[in-house]
Amino acid sequence: MTAIWLYAIITPFGSVRLKSVKNVLKERKVFVVIQVGAEEHELPFDLVYFRKNLMLSTVKMWTLIGCSVNILLTYVHFYVFFYQRFLAPNLKHKGRRAVNFGYMVDSHEDIAWNVIALGRDFTVRVSEWQEEASLTAKAGQRLLSIADLLEAQVRLIIGTIFVLPEKAARSNWNEGLIHYRNEAEAYAQGQEQLDYYHALAARDERVQLIQSAAELDNFIASMDSQPAKLGLIISMEGADPITEPEQLSEWVGRGLRLIGPAWKGTRYCGGTGEPGPLTPAGYKLLAEMERLGVILDVSHMAEESFYQSLEAYKGTVIASHSNCRHYVNTDRQLSDDMIKQLLARDAVIGTVLYNRFLTGGTEANLGDVIKHMSHICELAGHTRSIAIGSDYDGGFGVETIPQPMQKVGDLYMLAEALMQHGFSEADVNNIFHANWVRILRQGLVKIQN
Ligand SMILES: [Zn+2]
């Protein structure tokens, strides 16, 4: 009998196990039902009876009870470890469905740049990728691939054509990367990236190029069909590849749908770190963009160019990836007045998930993302103007994104954090996809081809 008791205490999952505890009030006794193989034994759990039957001294009995409690606590620790290591990640994954954001639209990903300049293959999963130290070490561990995006429920992205000017290639950060020294090289490199997007969509059935409002509507209507597809709209960050404004129709004919005239300063306008106005060519480019129905992306525009552009251009405006100067006071972010000007145009502003643009330092967390989003919502009085322009893999990697996110599949954490900060599920839906879809549809409707 002693052996059964001891075995029952230390092997709750074995062939001998504690099955239940019966509290028989009438007899003022507690019975413990123990299963030994197929048989059940009912043992009285009266301490005096227990002690007598086991012929234990009181000290020995309490030692036995103490040991049992210790063993029990070990099991609890073991379970907690297992829960955190193996079960909790799965539960978190389920959280994606707990906050139903439907799907996600990301307005800024430098896919072609990553493929052509950094040699990263967009079709290879991040987990299967070995970064080569030579070109990508400074950019950190990559985040984006088709499979990773689809798994994260990111179903529509704006992919950029971005080419690097020689002045930026001299910096330590960009040293050794492909860059352009003149208009012809900018054009050729920009065309190569455009070719890449077309080739990608042609050879990979998971990628679908979206060039019109009708195509956008069809894509969204068939979002539940399998295999899941990644919609891709092509934009340009820094307009130097467009040799002259008259050339824009050629680019639009090949699928270019949004233009951010600036990165640093370009031949069209002042940009980040290079203040300046719109140039005469810049005014002409905006007129062509308006005529052809190309969406204006004001991210990176110098303040003077920004105000002149809003004055000159009457089409659809966005800021694909810009945070608030209210929190990080540099010219890369938007001042409150700039945000108000954008709100007056019913624009959408994508929050950049890059620590330096969230806090000004190397560390940031989801609360910082929400601060920037909330600030714009407070200025707007609604949640229709804020969205996500992650800029993932925009020259920096997983090391620079807000904690605790570690991969693109962790974006659902932002949805959960927004809910915890008082945003409704409808707000989260606005932020994750509805705002981008609204403004993109509005802009793409005007495309004339
Ligand atoms: Zn950028």
405 CB-near residues (< 8 Å, 6+ apart) = 353, 366, 411, 413, 414
pLDDT in tens, 181-216: 999 999 999 999 999 999 999 999 999 999 999 999
Q: What values do phi and psi take at 228, rounded to 5?
A: -60, 140
| Distance from Cα 448 to the centre of ligand 1, integer Å | 27
For residue 355, report the distance from its CA to the centre of ligand 1, in Å. Answer: 14
Of 445, 427, 446, 424, whose CA–CA distance to 435 is shortest? Answer: 427
Q: How far is the CA of 158 from the centre of ligand 1 (A)?
A: 12
Instruction: State the pLDDT at residue 49.
Output: 64
**pLDDT at 89 exceeding the cut of 90:** no
Distance 118 CA to ligand 1 centre (A): 16
Give the pLDDT mean for 169-189: 87
Domain ranges across the chain: 2-92, 103-444
Distance 426 CA to ligand 1 centre (A): 28
Q: Is 323 exposed, middle or buried (0-12, 13-18, 19+ CB in 10 A)?
A: buried
**Edge-to-edge strand ranges of the sheet holding 29-36:** 16-24, 29-36, 39-44
The answer on pLDDT for 87 being more than 60 is no
Å from CA of 237 to ligand 1 middle: 7
Q: How many CA atoms lie within 13 A of 286 on its CB side?
A: 26
Of the pLDDT bands very low, low, confident and very high (cuts 50, 70, 90), residue 343 is very high
Q: Of 242, 339, 332, which Cα lies nearest the Cα of 289? A: 242
Cα–Cα distance between 449 and 447 in angstroms, integer? 6
- Residue 393 CA, ligand 1 centroid: distance in Å: 11
User: 21 forms bridges with which residues in the sheet?
Assistant: 32
Top-confidence residue, 180 or 130: 180
Q: Residue 140's CB: how many other CB atoms inside 10 A? A: 16
Tell me the two tokens of residue 290.
């308006």
Decide if 246 contacts 288 (C-beta within 8 A). yes
Segment 283-294 shows an average pLDDT of 98
Distance 263 CA to ligand 1 centre (A): 6
Distance of CA 321 from the midpoint of ligand 1 (Å): 7
Beta-bridged to residue 139, according to DSSP, are none
Reply yes or no on domain 103-444 having CATH 3.20.20.100: no
pTM, two decimals, is 0.78
pLDDT in tens, 99-129: 788 999 999 999 999 999 988 899 999 888 8
Q: What is the pLDDT of residue 95?
A: 43
Q: How confident is the prediction for the chain on average, in pLDDT?
A: 87
Q: What separation in Å is there between the alpha carbon of 13 and the centre of ligand 1?
A: 57
Q: Encode pLDDT of 28-56 as tens digits.
A: 666 667 666 667 777 666 666 666 666 66
* pLDDT given at position 400: 87
Question: 178 C-alpha vs ligand 1 centroid, how far in Å?
Answer: 17
Summarize pLDDT for 131-144 with one digit per residue, the tens: 764 455 567 788 99
